[in-house]
Amino acid sequence: LTLSMLVKLSESIVDNDPPDLTGLLMGVNYGLNKVRFINPVPSGARIRATAETIDVALKGSSVDQTRKMVVEIEGQDKPALIAEWIGRLVFA
């Protein structure tokens, strides 16, 4: 369940220095690497996600962005989930 919430959780992450995406046709969820479920999330617990860009690679007219996603549980030292999420940005 926690993994399925990554898209919604990531919508609340604010990018203070957003990139120029002129010519962007679409963004695609390309996949996940190194998914680790560290700590179970108790029923009713509050969670939040943080993201860190760890790689950006040019693939023809596309860009693959790999972000390290961490889902934290309020009041817990260990996170619920750590995963590398790859998004592909397709440009004209």
**Among candidates 82, 57, 72, which has minimal Cα distance to 12?**
72
Question: What are the residues facing 58 on neighbouring strands?
Answer: 63
Domain count, the chain: 1
Can you give the pTM of this predicted structure?
Answer: 0.83
CB 43 within 8 A of CB 37: no
Task: Give dist(CA 35, CA 12) in Å, integer.
Answer: 21
Task: Give dist(CA 89, CA 15) in Å, integer.
Answer: 16
Taking 90 as the threshold, does the pLDDT of residue 84 lie above it? yes
Range of the domain at 61: 3-15+23-91
pLDDT of 15-61, one tens digit each? 767 777 888 999 999 999 999 999 999 999 999 999 999 999 999 98
CATH number at residue 43: 3.10.129.10
| Higher-pLDDT residue of 82, 15 | 82
Kind and range of the H or E element at 6? helix 6-10
Query: What is the SS3 assignment for 10?
Result: helix
Q: Give the pLDDT of residue 16.
A: 65
